[in-house]
């Protein structure tokens, strides 16, 4: 295939734009912090499950404390009632019965108060555990929110850049011969479609060409489209080619 050196040089601009378009597309579809965002999402779900379990422990302890407080109130009422009756009773037998019941209620009150103290400690410990877990969730949520915001901004920027690059590419390829562009496109499917031959080295695959290959390129007409023997891209010759 033949194409003017100017046309061939335009392929270098197209190749550069294609490379940058691919980079922009990767940045749009694969944000740098996407893995961490997914990790934080999974972590937050696990933390929420743990919070639910801890809240359940706290709520159970709080319910038990309310039950004990209710029992204490009942015992206190009975003690007050028996104490009032004892103050006015005249029968020794009745008085002895009331005193026995008051002693029993006193022991019951002591037991309930001891249980109250133990359960209150459990409630306090459970509430502290819930609060600590919530702080972990808040920290995870904050980091996830910040990274998500950054990712969205990066995606938006990459999308805008990709659009601009695509417009620039369209403007350049409009001036390239259709057959040459088709040849470039076919090669670009496998690797770089076109690359500069600089100092005897293909800038597409970074391989230095042999003396025989360079001699063949040196002897070829300027408008002949040459290929890299290593990667198959179109080799564009300029004053930097070292020929």
Any domain includes 242: no
What is the reported pLDDT for 76?
94
Mean pLDDT, the chain, integer = 94
Strand partners, 29: none
CATH number at 146 reads: 1.10.287.1700
Q: What is the pTM of this model?
A: 0.71
- 48 plus 138 within the same structural domain: yes
Return the beta strands (E) in the chain as ranges. Answer: 194-198, 201-202, 226-227, 234-237
Domain containing 58: what range? Answer: 27-173
What sign has the CA pseudo-torsion 167, 168, 173, 174?
positive
- pLDDT tens for each residue of 74-109: 999 999 998 888 888 878 887 888 888 889 999 999
Distance CA 199, CA 209 (A): 10
- 55 plus 107 within the same structural domain: yes
- 213 plus 165 within the same structural domain: no
> Residue 176 in contact with residue 10, Cβ under 8 Å?
yes
Any domain includes 143: yes
What sign has the CA pseudo-torsion 141, 147, 152, 153?
positive
Return the beta strands (E) in 123-231 as ranges. Answer: 194-198, 201-202, 226-227
- 102 plus 198 within the same structural domain: no
For residue 95, the Cα-to-chain-centroid distance in whole angstroms is 75
- 93 plus 205 within the same structural domain: no
- pLDDT tens for each residue of 4-29: 999 999 999 999 999 999 999 999 99
- pLDDT tens for each residue of 33-53: 999 999 999 999 999 999 999
Structural domain tally of the chain? 2
Distance CA 234, CA 10 (A): 12
Distance CA 70, CA 228 (A): 90
- 133 plus 194 within the same structural domain: no
What is the reported pLDDT for 90?
76
């Amino acid at each position: 295939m033949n194409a003017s050196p100017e046309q061939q040089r335009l392929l270098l601009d197209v190749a550069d734009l294609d490379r940058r378009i691919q980079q922009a597309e990767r940045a749009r579809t694969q944000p740098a912090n996407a893995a961490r965002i997914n990790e934080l999402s999974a972590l937050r779900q696990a933390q929420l499950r743990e919070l639910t379990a801890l809240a359940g422990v706290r709520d159970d302890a709080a319910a038990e404390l309310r039950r004990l407080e209710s029992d204490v109130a009942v015992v206190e009422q009975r003690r007050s009632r028996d104490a009032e009756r004892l103050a006015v009773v005249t029968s020794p037998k009745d008085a002895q019965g009331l005193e026995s019941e008051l002693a029993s209620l006193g022991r019951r009150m002591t037991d309930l108060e001891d249980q109250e103290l133990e359960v209150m400690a459990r409630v306090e410990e459970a509430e502290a555990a819930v609060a600590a877990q919530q702080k972990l969730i808040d920290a995870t949520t904050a980091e996830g929110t910040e990274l998500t915001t950054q990712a969205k901004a990066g995606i938006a920027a990459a999308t805008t850049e990709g659009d601009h690059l695509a417009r620039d590419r369209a403007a350049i390829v409009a001036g390239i011969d259709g057959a040459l562009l088709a040849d470039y496109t076919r090669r670009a499917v496998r690797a770089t479609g076109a690359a500069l031959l600089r100092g005897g080295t293909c800038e597409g695959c970074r391989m230095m060409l042999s003396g025989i290959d360079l001699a063949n390129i040196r002897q070829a007409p300027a408008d002949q489209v040459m290929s890299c023997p290593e990667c198959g891209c179109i080799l564009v010759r300029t004053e930097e080619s070292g020929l």
